[in-house]
Amino acid sequence: MSFRASSALAFRASTSLRAGKARNDVPIAMSKWWGSYKAQDGVVTQQLSPYEQQAVMPWIRTWPKRLVTKFTSTAMDWVPPFVFMIGIVEWSEWKHSDIAHHHRD
């Protein structure tokens, strides 16, 4: 399909308006209703769908499950170093108090 043919199809409803003809794809009642419409300043003419407004809710609903999955799947990467670090800190605190206790004046 050529560009000229596709553009003619895309603007087929507006060509009759530009030519001054009455539209036949809109009911007469609606054309009378919207014919006298004038845009007003400050009136909301477009709004977001409720589905578009809740962009974060799907993430919040799946967050706990993803958090548990992430922690359990990576536990072997972070648990042993964490336990080793706690052991080193406890041992160093004990050793420091032991040295301080034995070397009193």
> Quick check: 35 pLDDT over 90?
no
**DSSP of 52-78, one letter per residue?**
HH-SSHHHHHHHHHHHHHHHHHTHHHH
Q: Which residue has the higher pLDDT, 104 or 95?
A: 95
d(CA 10, CA 4): 10
Query: Residue 83 — φ and ψ, nearest 5°?
Result: -65, -40
Lowest mean pLDDT among 19-23, 50-54, 80-84: 19-23
Stretch 47-64: mean pLDDT, rounded?
78
pTM, two decimals, is 0.40
> Quick check: 77 pLDDT over 90?
yes
Among 26, 43, 44, residue whose Cα is nearest residue 35: 26
Dihedral sign (CA 59, 63, 66, 71): positive
pLDDT at position 9? 67
